[in-house]
Amino acid sequence: PSSFAPGGDVNYSISFQNRGYSRPLHKRRFRLKFISADLECTMEDSSVDIRSWYASDTETYTVSGVARLPETIIVGSYNVYLDLADADGDLADNVLFKVGVANQGLFDASTGLNDLRHTITVNTGMLAEGTSQSYNTLSCGNWVSNWSALDEREIDSAHEVDPQDSRATMRGSGRLTLGKGIAKFNGSPRLYISPEDGSGGFDNMEITAYGKYVALGTPESYSGLTIATRSKHNNYANEPCDAFGYYARIYQDSGECAFQKEYYHWTTTGTVYTATRIVNCFEEGGSQVPLPLGQWVGMKFKVTTIPETDNVLLELYLDVDDNGNWELKHSFTDTPGSWLSTSSTTVPSECPQNDGDTVLRAGTASFLRTDGDIDTEVHWREVYMMNSPSTA
């Protein structure tokens, strides 16, 4: 079938022949991309190794599997593409290191994608059929990082907009370098993403990003791979109460995963946060260890208002081996009156939110951040921000 419901299973089967002179020498990621006018979704099948495809006039290599659509995927028509990306995370989104199939007219050198000339339609009027025991999940985003350009571009001042993406703005201090498939963060920059016009803002969210510490420099005690959403932090200079929002972080020095809620942010009177909700995420031999240096780690941060309640569910999934296998590492439900500000701070009375309130309104900013001096270098790649339909 070519029509599916959200949450349904897409069965795929693609056959290849290698009529060259040898097998591929370098490992490649086998990814399918489903792209519509509003959304881009990516699935990786880590079981495929094209280095085993030896040259033959008769042998056929078939890749089959199941791609499960997110329950919150946007309805519409999606064109399907094959992405044979480099296995090295630093090169995975660099178009110079993509592989094209030999079929005439399928490979687009400007994007590095192979057009499979197949379209699926997602329709809410259908019944989801998600019964497969083994499947690959899709990461989707109506904002997707656009850093594939070979010429790197540098952003080094607060409020500077990415010249190739009007929705992306730098805040904080330091330097952003965008290109060749990655975003380099030096110092303490923040990359703010604004919602699409007419979308209603960032409400129920699923944000996927891969991050890697390249150089520690002089980190802060709170340094780590950090994602924030359901916030209006982009307006805190005008209205400090707008900083109200949720954070997910992997601390660099401890390897712990944490959630935190911010109530208020002002440069002179300080900030108001909750205490962090922390679990161990990186251990060796039963002992807690720091976030590994030089290792890509995938983060998937989900923020969902539980239907018919004022409770908000926070979930953090990790792909620690950079192979598309996601594991739920941290889950916490924020309920009214339970997650209060720290004892040393109070929520100002002029704020519309009270201490203990859950964040229910949509935000106007989602962002990535790292913290350190100019010698601190963190790389990000494959960032997907999906604003799911509201279920509250």
- DSSP summary character for residue 221: T
Give the integer Cα–Cα distance in Å for 71 and 31. Answer: 20
User: Other CB atoms closer than 10 Å to residue 343's CB: what's the count?
Assistant: 7
* Structure confidence at residue 137 as a pLDDT band (50, 70, 90): confident
State yes or no: pLDDT of 124 exceeds 60.
Answer: yes
Query: What's residue 55's pLDDT?
Result: 94
Give the integer Cα–Cα distance in Å for 107 and 231. Answer: 40
Contact 152, 180 (CB under 8 A): yes
Residue among 24, 41, 23 nearest 33 (CA)? 41
Give the integer Cα–Cα distance in Å for 151 and 168. Answer: 18
Task: Report the DSSP beta bridge partners of residue 237.
Answer: none
Higher pLDDT, 267 or 108: 108
Q: What pTM value is reported for the model?
A: 0.84
The two tokens of residue 251 are 């601390």
> Coil, strand, or helix at residue 51?
helix
State yes or no: pLDDT of 296 exceeds 80.
Answer: yes
Give the integer Cα–Cα distance in Å for 61 and 344. Answer: 63
* Segment 363-379, tens digit of pLDDT: 999 999 999 999 999 99
* Averaged pLDDT of the chain: 92
Tokens 């591929």 -> residue: 24
State yes or no: pLDDT of 388 exceeds 70.
Answer: no
* Segment 16-34, tens digit of pLDDT: 999 988 999 999 999 999 9
- DSSP summary character for residue 346: -
Query: What's residue 391's pLDDT?
Result: 43
Query: What's residue 390's pLDDT?
Result: 45
